Amino acid sequence: MPTGSPSCLWRCWCAGGPRSRKERGGAHWVGERHTRHLPVRHLRAARDRQRARRGPCRADAERAPGPAPGARRRPALPARAGPGRPWVRAGRGVPVSRPRPGPGRGGGGPAVCRCAALRRGHPGPRGDPARGRGRCPAGAGAAAAGRPAPASRPGRHRLPAAAGRHGRHAGARAAPARRGLTVPGGLPGALGLAVAEGRGVVVAPSGAVVVAPCTLGELVPRLRQLEQEQRPRWVWWQAGRDARPVVEAGVHLARCWDVAEVHRVLAGGLAADPGTVWAHLRGLDPAGVPQVAEPDLFALVSPAAQLDPETLTTADGHLRADAVQGSWITTPARLAAWARAALTAAEQQRAALAGAPRVPDSGGSPRDARRLLATALSESAAALLCVELEVHGLPIDRAAATALITAAAGPRPRDEAQASAIRAERDRAVLVHVPGRERTDLRNPLQVKEMLASVGVNVDNTRKWTLAAHRGSHPVVEALLTWRKAERVATTYGWHWLESHVGEDDRLRGAWTACDGGAGRMTAANGLHNLPAELRPAVAAHPGHVLVRADLGQIEPRVLAAVARDPAFADASQAADLYSPVAAELGVDRPVAKVAVLAAMYGQTSGSAGKALKRLDRAYPTAMAYLHRAYDAGVRGDAVVTWGGRRVPMWQGPLSEAQRAARGRFARNAVVQGAAAELFKAWAATVRAGGHPLGARIVLCLHDELLVHVREAHAEETVALVHRSLDEAAARWTGTHRVRFVADVSVVRRWSEAKA
């Protein structure tokens, strides 16, 4: 089946989707857009960018005079006053929301796929808004494809079998049986917090209201007081929705339980909206999760119309769709019910974690309830940290950024004419080497290929590493490579980037995700995770502050040593440079050992690492067996489970041998990269907690690197904190002291300084 064909798209979506771009046959989006329920922010951001260049699209014009872009969408349903004290009145009740667009995952509501975006905004191409190009995840698709709906995925085994069998009655069941329970019942100190439409509520596990529904202005001081007096564990559906307004108000919340993020641990994947989580906990078919109907089309037959207006769940036991979407939460009573439901979900999750069947994880050791709970807590903390990262932003030296961009992309153009003149000037430096071909469009790979062929450089593609081999053949090659770098900065990280993402307060902001659907890393938008090294001098502490820059050394092999429980590899981790003892053990040079270890974790079997890999197998059989088991599981299509207990599902479907091998490589890497991400988040959460009294704020997380922004006076304390936090987090997370983790920590003004 050709990749990119409609049936391929269909298959990818139904199957849970290939994670790797290569496995997708090079397609960028087949997986993400349709299988991972990408937050609309991606699509909205793309549209906004286009709009910035080309003006508003027709759909925008039709919506006008609707809410301004970035404004929170008002409920489309007529605001009906419920019992209690309704706060929604026609024409009033302006919600409190952050002024800038791009609310981030959870910030704009539950994660929804493109199809839902179509339903809400743009009609489908054939005027069929409900289906949206025929690949809507609402359920019809999966059934029609003759493939089991996501409900039958593994993962439900963590709930009692009866929950699934009894269907609609399952919702009434108590928490799952607590086999092997090692964690005391209940979430100590739990308080439910829900925020919607500028109002918030706090409820206790008993259901009692602790802070009655009130405006944010009234809520914030009460939260501060509770935080100070009780240090509660705040329980919410999703930090992006419930915690954001509180974080924006400047409140520091120490501990939390993020139902969405814990769901990602339990079930895997990215979809974690309340409706999906609820269905999962109740053993209900996720395909049956109610969707919000398009009001103007289906208002008369909307299931919501047949519901008791004050009941949170449908007859099937699902959460009502308009509650998940937010438009139902219009009264104090409903808001409190929403917060209580979060507490209920959290308690069920905790029980599911504690009572998890002791099936072997991909490394062969038993899943440990304590470890699972720790993962749930640090992933929750990461979700809150993500909100803080979005709200606080990364400090930028605007003058430095301006200078760097000018150097790479030329001066800020005053108008389109000047912009195109600058582009032409940049192009000329390349085209001057190919007389007679000055009309070549350097942004068109086909034309570039032809141009290169005309001067005797024949290449299959024009990628950087391909061209690099032809550097000596013709001067145009070098010029082209230089052009590419400049063009990169000019387009992606140029003036447009600076204006769109760096705020008046000189902070770079972008959306953060605590756990991607693949291996479990954090993700960030707007260049926060892929800022070119040449621009990093622009990331600088604000006056009176410094950046404490900490990065973990060789985290992935050390994590492998820990999770595989390989004694020999653990011994090697005692060295500050892990590759040195490995090289000695293998009898090869250090660079060879390094490549071999990395190749083992990434699944590479060819090239120069090949021979060293065999020796690696002999020297560290336990660690290598761990990787082999993950690979085999991936090839079979079985989900793998990371050390922290996070399930990583594999995409299904009829796959070629090569595609199954790719899935195996993905799985092999996922247990290492994913586990490293867990340790990283545990570390970050510890630093966050310890840094608060110092006024130290984490401003960037980059897979194995932390940037902490702190007043100069507290720099050294923060350095000590970062080291101490790593020791604590690693010991807690690995459950051993046998594996050593090291961090390189330095105090700098600019991110670019002091790279070890």
Partner DNA sequence: CACCGTGGCGCC
Partner DNA sequence: AAAGGGCGCCACGGTG
Query: Restricting to residues 529-568, which ones interact with DNA according to CB under 7 A?
Result: 529-534, 551
Contact window for DNA (CB under 7 A) among 62-70, 261-269, 365-373, 440-448: 440-448
CB of 534 to DNA, least distance (A): 7
Report DSSP letters for 77-111, one per residue: S-----SS-----TT--PPP--SSS---TBTTBS-
- Residue in 14, 15, 40, 45 binding DNA, rule: CB under 7 A: 45
- Give whichever of 215 and 491 is closer to DNA, judged by the CB atom: 491
Question: Residue 632 is inside which H or E element, if any?
Answer: helix 621-636
* Residues 651 to 690 in contact with DNA, rule: CB under 7 A: 658, 662, 665-666, 669-670, 673
The nearest distance, CB 147 to DNA, in angstroms, is 19
Least distance to DNA from the beta carbon of 568, Å?
22
| Among 69, 154, 295, 527, interactor with DNA by CB under 7 A | 527
* Least distance to DNA, CB of residue 606, Å: 4
Buried b (16+ CB within 10 A) or exposed e, 240-272: bbbbbbbbbbeebbebbbbbbbbbbbbbbbbbb
Among residues 47 and 244, whose Cβ is nearest to DNA? Answer: 47
Q: Which residues of 372-401 are buried (b: 16+ CB within 10 A; e: fewer)?
A: bbbbbbbbbbbbbbbbbbbbbbbbbbeebb
> How far is residue 34 CA from its own chain's centroid?
16
Task: Give dist(CA 332, CA 199) in Å, integer.
Answer: 9
Give the burial class of 306: count Cβ atoms within 10 A of its Cβ; 0-12 exposed, 13-18 middle, 19 or more buried: exposed
> In terms of CB distance, is 178 or 628 closer to DNA?
628
Longest dimension (CA), the chain: 80
The single residue among 365, 604, 652, 746 that binds DNA, judged by CB under 7 A, is 604
Nearest residue (CB) to DNA, 717 versus 744: 744
Nearer to DNA, 41 or 199 (CB): 41
Q: Which two tokens stand for residue 272?
A: 């974690």
**Long-range Cβ pairs for the range 726-733 (8 Å, 24+):** 726/550, 726/552, 726/683, 726/686, 728/686, 729/378, 729/679, 729/682, 729/683, 729/685, 729/686, 730/562, 730/679, 730/683, 732/374, 732/682, 733/371, 733/374, 733/378, 733/643, 733/644, 733/678, 733/679, 733/682
DSSP state of 692: G
Q: How far apart are CA 426 and CA 486, in angstroms?
A: 8
Residue number with CB closer to DNA (370 or 703): 703
Contact between 628 and DNA per CB under 7 A:
no
Choose which of 89, 464, 614, 692 interacts with DNA (CB under 7 A): 464
CB of 661 to DNA, least distance (A): 7
Q: Which stretch binds DNA (CB under 7 A): 15-23, 82-90, 230-238, 730-738?
A: 15-23
Map the footprint of DNA across residues 239-298, applying CB under 7 A.
none
Q: How far is the CB of 580 from DNA (least distance, A)?
A: 19
Least distance in Å: CB of 95 to DNA?
Answer: 25
With binding defined as CB under 7 A, does residue 445 bind DNA? yes
Q: What share of the chain is helix, strand, coil (3-state, %, to 5)?
A: 50, 10, 40
Among 369, 519, 701, 722, binds DNA (CB under 7 A): 519
Query: Taking a C-beta distance cutoff of 8 angstroms, is the pair 290, 320 a contact?
Result: yes
Q: 414 or 439: whose CB is closer to DNA?
A: 439
Peptide bond into 621 cis (omega under 30): no
Q: How far is the CB of 178 from DNA (least distance, A)?
A: 34
How far is it, in rounded angstroms, from Cα 507 to Cα 41? Answer: 20
Report if residue 441 touches DNA, rule: CB under 7 A: yes
Of 353 and 592, nearer to DNA (C-beta) is: 592
Distances from the Cα of 744 to the Cαs of 67, 522, 673, 733, in angstroms? 48, 21, 20, 20
Q: How far is the CB of 122 from DNA (least distance, A)?
A: 5
Q: What letter would DSSP give residue 192?
A: E
- Binding to DNA (CB under 7 A) within 692-721 occurs at 702-705
CB 188 within 8 A of CB 257: no
- 287 to 316, contacts with DNA by CB under 7 A? none
Site for DNA in 377-416 (CB under 7 A): none
Q: How many residues sit close enough to DNA to count as binding (CB under 7 A)? A: 91
Residue placing its CB nearer to DNA in the complex, 516 or 632 = 516
Q: How many residues does the chain have?
A: 756
Judged by CB under 7 A, which stretch of 26-34, 211-219, 334-342, 707-715 contacts DNA?
Answer: 26-34
Q: 235, 247, 409, 599: which one contacts DNA (CB under 7 A)? A: 599
Position among 609, 627, 699, 722 found at the interface with DNA (CB under 7 A) = 609
Closer residue to DNA (CB): 329 or 655: 655
Among residues 326, 334, 390, 339, the alpha carbon closest in space to that of 120 is found at: 326
**Minimum gap (Å) between residue 135 Cβ and DNA:** 9
Structure tokens belonging to residue 373: 């709970």
Of 380, 350, 376, the C-alpha closest to 186 is 350
**From the CB of 489, what's the least distance to DNA, in Å?**
8
Would you say 603 or 649 has its CB closer to DNA?
Answer: 603
User: Which one, 50 or 225, has the nearer CB to DNA?
Assistant: 50
What is the nearest approach in angstroms of DNA to the Cβ of residue 715?
22
When the beta carbons of 166 and 484 are compared against DNA, the nearer one is 484
509 contacts 501 by C-beta, under 8 angstroms: yes
Query: Least distance (Å) from DNA to the CB of residue 464?
Result: 4
| Closest approach of DNA to the CB of residue 7, in Å | 11
Contact 137, 291 (CB under 8 A): no
Q: Cα 547 to chain center, whole Å?
A: 24
Q: Which residue has 């009829």 as its token pair?
A: 654
**Please, which of residues 172-191 interact with DNA by CB under 7 A?**
none
Q: How far is the CB of 741 from DNA (least distance, A)?
A: 14
Dig out the tokens for 353 from the structure: 């974690």
57 and 307 in contact (C-beta within 8 Å)? no
Query: Does 443 engage in binding with DNA (CB under 7 A)?
Result: yes
The answer to whether 20 contacts DNA (rule: CB under 7 A) is yes
- Interface map 467-506 toward DNA (x if CB under 7 A): x----------------xx--x--xx---xx---------
Crossing angle of helices 715-734 and 369-392, in 10° steps, is 150
- Rounded to a whole number of angstroms, the minimum distance from the CB of residue 37 to DNA is 12
89-148 residues near DNA, rule: CB under 7 A: 114, 122, 125, 133
When the beta carbons of 81 and 407 are compared against DNA, the nearer one is: 407
Q: Which is nearer to DNA, 9 or 745 (CB)?
A: 9
Q: How far is the CB of 656 from DNA (least distance, A)?
A: 8
Contact range with DNA by CB under 7 A, out of 283-291, 379-387, 594-602, 637-645: 594-602
Helix (H, G, I), strand (E, B) or coil at 713: helix
Does the footprint of DNA cover residue 516 (CB under 7 A)?
yes
Which of 348/673 has CB closer to DNA? 673
How far apart, in whole angstroms, are the C-alpha atoms of residue 664 and residue 519? 13
Indicate the residue among 356 and 648 with the shorter CB distance to DNA: 648
CB of 711 to DNA, least distance (A): 26
DSSP secondary structure code for residue 319 in this structure:
B
CA-based nearest residue to 352, from 77, 156, 137, 167: 156
Binders of DNA among residues 47 to 66 (CB under 7 A) are 47, 49-50, 54, 56-59
Q: Which residues pair with 697 in a beta bridge?
A: 709
